[in-house]
Amino acid sequence: MLLPNEIEFIATNGQRSPADIALDARKYPELDIKKMAHQIQARQKLVDKLPSWVAEKKVFFPASISLEQSSSESTANYKASLVSGRLIDITGGMGVDTWAFAQTCAHVTYVEMQEDLASFTEYNHKVLGVKNIIYFAKNGLDVLNQVEIDWIYVDPARRNAQGEKVILFKDCQPNVLDVIAQHPTKKILIKTSPVLDISRAVHELGGVSQVYVVSTKQEVKELLFVKAGNESLDPKITIVEEGQTIFEGTAIQERESNNVIGSLKRYVYEAHPGVMKAGFFKSVLRNDLIQLGQHTHLYSSESIMEDFPGKIYEVIESGPVQANWLSVNQANISTRNFPMSPEALRKKLKLKDGGAYTLFGIQNSSKKNELILTKKITFAHSN
């Protein structure tokens, strides 16, 4: 995949601009400079996403589409913590998830329809020292009956055979519902895009054992659905940030929670994006924590709650939607249930972007628009 002279070139030129390298093609007639530029660009882009892979100088990175669709190391390792025994990955791709599964499972089967991609992946796994994986360049559904397994892992492409985007599992490639129907006794781990509607997905799957909302750096990266017995239409939903559970709940608990609405207090809380994705708008309320408006998903309390699943701000001042009372000329802006976008509000207030302060535009408990100037509080144990 990578020859010794190519590995040396990448190591020597790893910090250069790929565009500049491409322009120097005539200087290196013995090298495929387009290939080298892609390898260097991939390493530069993936240094945070796949640090172990980037650190190994012999790893070969496939086409950009595979890089974009792959899991990060952190999310792959989290998925691997959920499984054990014998697992088959029927949608192998560039093999990041498979590589992670090999760390926790006794035996892993990797399946990928694209022969070139399957070949690249097998090469990379061997370079990375993985030895308990077998490889098939086939349709994953065809291999399911050929190996002994405890777990099935599937990351379905959310496009149909015509390449059109789809929203239902039955329209994905492969059809997850067919996998479930044909292998009802196997445990199944399903990864999906974070845009999927959780409730709809749970019902389409006929109930699941568990749902995970997996986040990295305060951004929801993927949803995981587990079918492993004791399926429910109201499963526990676990919010994960950097591999750590930060909140759990169920849809029924959310529906039965009281929505306590009140006026602004000393501290403001912005729930983690994963909490919002799961729809836990009321479940996070406790003690003297209140919601600042009927549809304003921002919270407040008089005493600080360090374990709140999200960001915490101290209130500096608040007032109407005008600039004459603001004590700063620079702030980050965020809006909740507010008639203006952050960009429009910034223009109206003539505020510079960035800085240490955050200005929230909200509809308050009296259904009036209000501005709240805050400063984020950071704790030593914060993510």
Give per-residue pLDDT as tens, 199-230.
999 999 999 999 999 999 999 999 999 999 99
Is residue 58 one of the residues assigned to a domain?
Answer: no
Does 181 share its domain with 266? no
Return the CATH number at 182.
Answer: 3.40.50.150
Does 137 share its domain with 272? no
Does 96 share its domain with 241? yes
Helix-strand-coil split of the chain, %, nearest 5? 30, 30, 40
Backbone angles phi, psi at 25, to 5 degrees: -55, -40
Does 297 share its domain with 228? no
Is residue 382 one of the residues assigned to a domain?
Answer: no
- Domain span at 21: 4-46
Is residue 63 one of the residues assigned to a domain?
Answer: no
Does 111 share its domain with 224? yes
Does 115 share its domain with 212? yes
Q: What angle do CA 299, 304, 309 make, to 5 degrees?
A: 55
Does 284 share its domain with 238? no
Q: Exposure pattern of 77-116 as b/e (b: 16+ CB <10 Å)? A: bbbbebbeebbbbbbbbbbbbbbbbbebbebbbbbbbeee
Helix (H) or strand (E) holding 177: helix 176-182
Does 76 share its domain with 139? yes
- Domain end, chosen from 221, 251, 281, is at 251
Which pTM was predicted?
0.93
Q: For helices 96-104 and 115-127, give the axis angle rounded to 10 degrees.
A: 50
Is residue 79 one of the residues assigned to a domain?
Answer: yes
Gyration radius from the chain CA atoms: 25
Does 95 share its domain with 232? yes
Is residue 343 one of the residues assigned to a domain?
Answer: yes
DSSP letter (8 states) at residue 192:
E
If one counts the domains in the chain, the total is: 3
Give per-residue pLDDT as tens, 32-50.
999 999 999 999 999 999 9
- Domain end, chosen from 200, 223, 251, is at 251
Is residue 282 one of the residues assigned to a domain?
Answer: yes
Does 119 share its domain with 180? yes
Does 245 share its domain with 368? no
Q: For helices 96-104 and 73-80, give the axis angle rounded to 10 degrees.
A: 40
Is residue 56 one of the residues assigned to a domain?
Answer: no
Is residue 21 one of the residues assigned to a domain?
Answer: yes
pLDDT at residue 2, rounded to an integer:
93
Q: What is the mean pLDDT of each run of 10 residues along the chain (383 residues)?
A: 94 95 92 95 96 97 90 97 98 97 98 96 97 96 93 88 80 91 94 94 97 96 96 98 97 95 97 98 93 96 95 97 94 97 96 97 96 92 50
Does 168 share its domain with 24? no
pLDDT at residue 74, rounded to an integer:
96
pLDDT at residue 379, rounded to an integer:
79
